Amino acid sequence: MVISTASGERRGEQVNSTFASRYVRNVLPKFQMPETSMPKDVAYQIINDELMLDGNPRLNLASFVTTWMEPECDRLMTAAMNKNYVDMDEYPVTTELQNRCVNIIAHLFNAPIGDGETAVGVSTVGSSEAIMLAGLAFKRKWQNKRKGEGKPFDKPNIVTGANVQVCWEKFARYFEVELKEVKLSEGYYVMDPAKAVEMVDENTICVAAILGSTLTGEFEDVKLLHDLLVEKNKQTGWDTPIHVDAASGGFIAPFLYPELEWDFRLPLVKSINVSGHKYGLVYAGVGWVVWRSKEDLPDELIFHINYLGSDQPTFTLNFSKGSSQIIAQYYQFIRLGFEGYKNVMENCMENTRMLKQGLEKTGRFEILSKDIGVPLVAFSLKDSSKHTVFEVADSLRKFGWIVPAYTMPANAEHVAVLRVVIREDFSRGLAERLISDIDKVMREIDTLPGQVSSKTAHVTATVDEVVRDSEVAVKPTVHKSVTDVEQDIVSRWKGIVKKRSVC
């Protein structure tokens, strides 16, 4: 046996515990900086404890954004966190990797690049910035043409479907461009190409098509839009171009549907954006925009800076930004290659089909998403007379699942849906678990009193208050059906939100 002796020299030492310190006993100011410093381990613990209440990203089925990458790529990103990408002269290799990524994407989208030429494009913080840049290029090119012809250039517009992502609305509002939206209809939740071309006029700077609608994942028919627009341009003498918002579908279509014509194979497609942080398989914070040729990006939009070293041409809304996501994108391209990306996308689609079949077997849901498109399942309740998709979404939260519920845009507001996005890290096992949990939720909801009827009664009783708040003169709601009341709720609250919301 080892004989131990006590040392008197250690009696004065104390074990310091974070959870017994004054830093966790006292309330920290939430909106002001603390007066004094605190130990680094305590600061870490306080923030880490709060973050435990966040949802699990892997179970966030609302998001298209990548939530898992390989550890080797994580290490590369961590090592590059202190590199400011804009310092191109100081970080020439990072700049070269960005250029390689632009060219890889341009070739993937069939850009007409000749021997010895390089593609024209930039990395962005996401597709929102990419769309802003593409929109600015279209606006400036249209303005220059109109000025040269001596025609008015103060009323530009863009034609889109009502299913576009909010970043298009932001572009229109921020840069004073009218957004002309093709309304949706029940059963058809993407832009109708024929209706879109009808809305085109001499002030249209471009028509924006979506390769992967946020609502249902469906690809819009870019080929049909292109052919109809070619005919209209011939008849009118205009040269209205097309931009493809391929934020979600740009890294899916080339691997799963190579014969589908939607990209630079169509002459009127002048620019394409894609999100590297969606099916490009990189963590949030990177997008890309590529132009068909140098002529499609006006020179006056490009800035040349030289106070960070050599001459550096830039076209961004942001200035400083991290290098990590660009390096991660290049890692994924060379790590996976065409074969690897194809395998990932095929696996996502297989899990999508499996989830769809599981939902159909319950007999409770109608599937609204299509077989060709982004790997997601959008579905609605066949019978919403007693309960709604919003109750289903709320109930799934207790199992950890984050599943969005929403109503469709204009002319289809009465259709409410749930949507599950299938990402690379959503395995077959998770899909089976989700189906099981949805079945449990539906059985539990069946035992509850009908919520729609009680909500209807509440809305009818308080309709005068809502009308006064929205300042809309409407007759009192009397003996309306559940569907009518739901439509009233949606339209009135949209009016209230429009007046009160601040971006």
Give dist(CA 381, CA 176) in Å, integer.
40
* 240 pLDDT above the threshold of 70: yes
Query: What is the pLDDT, as a whole number, of residue 308?
Result: 54
Amino acid at position 191, single letter: M
Q: What is the pTM of this model?
A: 0.85
Query: What is the pLDDT, as a whole number, of residue 458?
Result: 36
Q: What is the pLDDT of residues 192-222, one digit of tens each?
A: 999 999 999 999 999 999 999 999 999 999 9
Query: What is the pLDDT, as a whole number, of residue 463?
Result: 36
* 462 pLDDT above the threshold of 50: no
Mean pLDDT (whole number) for 181-187: 92
> Which residues, other chains included, contact 134 with Cβ-Cβ below 8 Å and sequence gap of 6+?
243, 271, 273, 289, 291
Query: What is the pLDDT, as a whole number, of residue 292?
Result: 97
Mean pLDDT (whole number) for 394-422: 94
Q: Give me the chain's average pLDDT, please.
A: 87
* 341 pLDDT above the threshold of 60: yes
* 482 pLDDT above the threshold of 80: no
Is residue 257 exposed (0-12), middle (13-18) or buried (19+ Cβ within 10 Å)? middle
Closest by CA to 123, choosing from 345, 366, 315, 354, is 315
Domains of the chain (ranges, CATH numbers)? 75-334 (3.40.640.10), 338-447 (3.90.1150.160)
Give dist(CA 431, CA 216) in Å, integer.
18
